[in-house]
Structure 1
Amino acid sequence: MAEAITATEPTRRDFLYLATAAVGAVGVGATVWPLISQMSPDASTLAAGTLEVDIAGVPVGQIMTVKWRGKPIFISHRTPVEIKTAEDTPLNELKDPATDQSRVQKPEWLVVIGICTHLGCVPLGHEGPYHGWFCPCHGSVYDTSGRIRQGPAPANLVVPPYRFAAETKLVIG
């Protein structure tokens, strides 16, 4: 004969086990939450993470320098000649090949971190044979797209994360 399966009624002990587990879970959560929460950046750090820049006053052919996260940011309002020269540069002439289109969101605006990729100096704008940037410390030369053309620097000037919030408002970070 087959044995009948009978369900046992929950006992007081079962209830106490569940209640103890629930209280323990809440206690662990209450203990861990402040620890995890304190690892998040505070409001001042988050505010320093982005920078809004009004670029309406930057005339064509000029470079504006702003500070973001302690680093100089070069915002270049490029001329049509600078854009054409940067776009027409053959990639095989570049140490760190990158198209001009991959480095800009709008052709007339170039945004780069103004720190030489060789030893961290700040290059001078509108200098050198390519009329981009020149690092006087060790002789690195960048073109109008911030690409390394001559000298010891191993890589192009870094393009920071940025977006255009409006036609004349740039948000970096």
Structure 2
Amino acid sequence: MNATVEDIGGDVSRRDFLYLATGAFAAIGAAGALWPLVDQMNPDASALSLATIEIDITPVQTGQAVTVLWRGMPIFVRNLTAEEVEKGKAADVSDLKDPVARLLGSTAELPATAANITKAGKDNWLVAVGICTHLGCVPKGQNPGDPRGPFGGYFCVCHGSVYDTLGRVRSGPAPRNLDIPPYEFIGETKIKLG
């Protein structure tokens, strides 16, 4: 007996439906099984709580600095003296080893001027990631008596990278300036990082 397309048409469409339903059920089951694996990659509550922190800068006097931990990185917060502010402003960007302000979270390539590194009206405050851009060491210069190098900023004793008071690399093997984290002043005595 010869079968025609019309004779088996009902069977073909029912079979197609069963294949589609089985495939859809398997896909939903696989997604349901994979969701806990994907969801566990989200940061936990303790990590999210460190996404932004507030720093009270009241006790930091002119010429002093503090180091805080943010997202596992040391952050240098320094209250620059009037002389350090003027030296930072006077530096010619074309003389810098890295003429770009390294602003975390920004794709803009702004010149490494004091105005682009510090906040307007708060140019005496430097907030920078305290990690040398050469091999990830922590430069000296935060504490009284630390070596600061010829530019009065930071000095990486491991390989000799020298940064100025605004965290701009001036000499040594470091390829770029210290990163500037996203921050803002909230009031006169607090900085919000993140």
In structure 1, runs of 5+ residues without a counterpart are 1-23
Give the aligned residue type for 1:103. I
* Whole-angstrom distance in 1 between the partners of 2:97 and 2:34: 50
* Whole-angstrom distance in 2 between the partners of 1:85 and 1:40: 44
Give the aligned residue type for 1:52. E
Query: CA offsets per residue over residues 75-102 of structure 1, 9 Å max, x none?
Result: 0101111111101101121011111111
Which stretch shifts more, 118-127 or 107-116? 118-127
The alignment partner of 1:85 has SS state of: helix
Root mean square deviation of aligned Cα: 2.6
Specify the alignment match of 1:158 in structure 2.
179
In structure 2, runs of 5+ residues without a counterpart are 1-24, 100-111, 142-146
* Whole-angstrom distance in 2 between the partners of 1:172 and 1:58: 17
Give the aligned residue type for 1:138. H
1:110 and 2:126 aligned = yes
Aligned residues: 156
Q: Does the C-alpha gap of structure 1 residues 159 and 32 become closer, same or farther in structure 2, counting only changes over 3 Å?
A: same
Specify the alignment match of 2:155 in structure 1.
134
The alignment partner of 2:162 has SS state of: strand
Query: CA offsets per residue over residues 149-169 of structure 1, 9 Å max, x none?
Result: 011100001101111122111
State the identity %: 53
Per the TM alignment, residue 48 of structure 1 is displaced from its structure 2 partner at its CA by: 1.7
* Whole-angstrom distance in 1 between the partners of 2:33 and 2:186: 41
Aligned positions of 1:144-155 closer than 5 A: 144-155=165-176
* Whole-angstrom distance in 1 between the partners of 2:32 and 2:185: 42
Q: Does the C-alpha gap of structure 1 residues 35 and 144 become closer, same or farther in structure 2, counting only changes over 3 Å?
A: same
Aligned positions of 1:1-173 closer than 5 A: 38-97=40-99, 98-105=112-119, 106-125=122-141, 127-173=148-194
The alignment partner of 2:115 has SS state of: coil
Structure with the largest fraction of strand: 1
Runs of 4+ off more than 3 Å: 27-40
Query: CA offsets per residue over residues 50-89 of structure 1, 9 Å max, x none?
Result: 2211001000011111111221110010111111110110
